[in-house]
Amino acid sequence: MRTTDFTPLYRTIVGFDRLANMIDNAAKLEPSGGYPPYNIEQLSEHEYRIELAVAGFSEDDLDLQVQENVLTVSGKRIPAEDAEDRNYLHRGIAERSFERRFHLADHVQVRDASLANGLLSIRLEREIPEAKKPRRIAVNGKTDAKLISANKADAA
């Protein structure tokens, strides 16, 4: 396995510790080994969906948490009461515990999650605060008369 040394990057960036940590974490292999498989889909400019294949898991077996822009999805399978009495000839459905992490960009919020037909669907949305949106700056104190009258009409 080839590893990348990000030390030179750390020496030249200031205040981007979170970004550097994300790059470092992305370079490492996930311990889950690709289980469970998942899709990330962009639904619109500001909407996304993550789908995880969690066959055999119920809503009670799944846990979703968001902390510091990291969405953690974990599943812990509670064995069925009759599991000891079963005699499998082939057991191909992986009902093992898992933990999958997704790093979310700033201002991306988890809206909801649903479980149907063995797929856990998580809807995400980017909400840019008004303070971060582009705004018009007046040059030499001159403002657009149309813009002012429109704002007055909105305030009324």
- What is the rounded average pLDDT of the residues 99-125? 95
CB neighbourhood size of 74 (10 A)? 14
Whether the pLDDT of residue 141 is over 80: the answer is no
Out of 24-38, 71-85, 86-100, pick the least confident: 24-38
Q: Note if the bond before 36 is cis, omega within 30 degrees.
A: yes
Structural domains of the chain, ranges and CATH numbers in brackets: 1-30 (no CATH), 35-155 (2.60.40.790)
Q: How many residues does the chain have?
A: 156
> And the tokens for 61?
């077996």
**Residue 65 in contact with residue 86, Cβ under 8 Å?**
no
Structure tokens at 137: 């700056």
- Give the span between the Cα atoms of 64 and 71, in whole angstroms: 7
Q: Is 75 exposed, middle or buried (0-12, 13-18, 19+ CB in 10 A)?
A: buried
Closest CA to 71 of 119, 29, 120: 120
Confidence at residue 128, expressed as pLDDT on a 0 to 100 scale? 85
Residue 74 has pLDDT above 70, yes or no: yes
Amino acid at 20: A
106's tokens: 């700033």
* Cα 132 from chain centre: 21
The more confident residue out of 149 and 17 is 17
Reported as a single tens digit per residue, the pLDDT across 16-61 is: 666 666 666 665 655 556 889 999 999 999 999 999 999 889 999 9
Token pair recorded at residue 9? 């990057």
